[in-house]
């Protein structure tokens, strides 16, 4: 009987080892679970060298694992831009879940309208490759144009947004309310944002947000703070630069002036917050 138990244990361990190998050794578009799968996608052949080079600053595998993304979820990403995180999220969700890109307005009334249009087009071109990205759904979220498209209210498992909160100032509360209403009970709002410990600028003009302020606004609309992570922290970033956060990589707003100094700092210090809509 002991020998039989030993054999069964060996078989179970072998099955688990084979499963783990299948996730890690996939083709870059595999749909396993957890950090190994996110990491494989983040380093996938479908991503440019330029985008992959930013993994060291943006930590996509660790960040998505922290938020708890699962392959059968409906996940809405707010303002994905040209699709940096789309390249990881959409392939991961394509077989069993749904990725929704809540992008910029198609005809935005904004001083950066040209950038928004180009970003929308770049994203559309990217997700047109259905073999990699599946059937991505695109909607328009643009508070300044009164566009609040996110998907069917109460059906979304997770809403994610990366480095965008300052764009929705001074009325961040309105955006958080829209996210809260869209999520199903128990749904998650995952936020990554440039972090300053200084008092909050009402306009968010330097690109940085005060973490306590963000938490306060989220709680005000009904969210519960589930957890915080320092995975995207950068102690070298003081948050006080001539051109705000855009002084740092990847923008380098001052171009060659003090370039070595700002490259040595790296990308911004960022808060990583997981909020939950109570059941």
Is residue 53 included in any domain, yes or no? yes
Which of 214, 159, 147, 149 lies closest to 184, judged by CA?
Answer: 159
The reported pLDDT for the residue numbered 26 is: 35
Residue-range definition of the domain harbouring residue 90: 33-276
- Neighbouring residues of 45: CB distance < 8 A, sequence distance ≥ 6: 28
Residue 44 is encoded by which pair of tokens? 């996938």
Distance, first Cα to last Cα, the chain: 47
Is residue 10 included in any domain, yes or no? no
Is residue 4 included in any domain, yes or no? no
- Neighbouring residues of 261: CB distance < 8 A, sequence distance ≥ 6: none
Is residue 208 included in any domain, yes or no? yes
Is residue 191 included in any domain, yes or no? yes
The reported pLDDT for the residue numbered 110 is: 86
**HSE-up (13 A, CA, CB side) for residue 15:** 6
The reported pLDDT for the residue numbered 152 is: 78
Is residue 26 included in any domain, yes or no? no
**Measured between alpha carbons, how far is 188 from 76 in angstroms, rounded to an integer?**
10
The reported pLDDT for the residue numbered 30 is: 43
Q: What CATH number has the domain bearing residue 45?
A: 3.40.50.150
**Measured between alpha carbons, how far is 30 from 41 in angstroms, rounded to an integer?**
8
pLDDT in tens, the chain (279 residues): 555 455 444 444 444 444 433 333 333 344 456 889 999 999 999 999 999 999 999 999 999 999 999 999 999 999 999 999 999 999 999 999 999 999 999 988 788 999 999 999 999 999 999 999 999 999 999 999 999 999 778 899 999 999 999 999 999 999 999 999 999 999 999 999 999 999 999 999 999 999 999 999 999 999 999 999 999 999 999 999 999 999 999 999 999 999 999 999 999 999 999 999 999
Is residue 9 included in any domain, yes or no? no
What b/e string do you get for 159-197 counting C-beta neighbours within 10 Å, with b at 16 or more? Answer: bbbbbbbbbbbeebeebbbbbbebbbeebbbbbbbbbbe
Is residue 72 included in any domain, yes or no? yes
How many structural domains does the chain have?
1
């Amino acid at each position: 009987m002991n020998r039989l138990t030993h054999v069964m244990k060996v078989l179970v361990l072998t099955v688990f080892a084979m499963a783990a190998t299948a996730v890690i050794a996939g083709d870059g578009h595999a749909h396993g679970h957890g950090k190994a799968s996110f990491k494989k996608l983040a380093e996938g052949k479908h991503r440019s060298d330029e985008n992959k080079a930013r993994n060291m600053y943006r930590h996509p595998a660790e960040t998505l694992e922290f938020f708890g993304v699962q392959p059968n979820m409906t996940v809405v990403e707010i303002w994905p831009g040209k699709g940096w995180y789309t390249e990881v999220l959409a392939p991961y969700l394509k077989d069993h879940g749904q990725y929704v890109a809540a992008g910029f307005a198609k005809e935005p009334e904004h001083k950066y309208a040209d950038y928004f249009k180009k970003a929308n087009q770049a994203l559309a071109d990217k997700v047109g490759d259905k073999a990699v990205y599946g059937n991505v759904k695109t909607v328009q979220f643009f508070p300044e144009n009164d566009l609040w498209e996110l998907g069917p209210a109460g059906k979304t498992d997770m809403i994610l947004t990366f480095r965008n909160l300052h764009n929705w100032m001074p009325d961040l509360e309105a955006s958080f309310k829209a996210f809260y209403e869209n999520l199903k009970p128990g749904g998650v709002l995952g936020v990554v944002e440039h972090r300053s410990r200084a008092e909050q600028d009402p306009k968010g003009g330097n690109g940085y947000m005060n973490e306590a302020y963000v938490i306060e606004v989220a709680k005000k609309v009904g969210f519960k703070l589930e957890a915080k992570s320092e995975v995207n922290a950068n102690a070298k970033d003081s948050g006080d630069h001539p051109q705000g956060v855009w002084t740092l990589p990847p923008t380098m707003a001052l171009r060659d002036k003090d370039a070595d100094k700002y490259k040595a700092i790296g990308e911004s210090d960022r808060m990583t917050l997981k909020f939950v809509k109570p059941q």
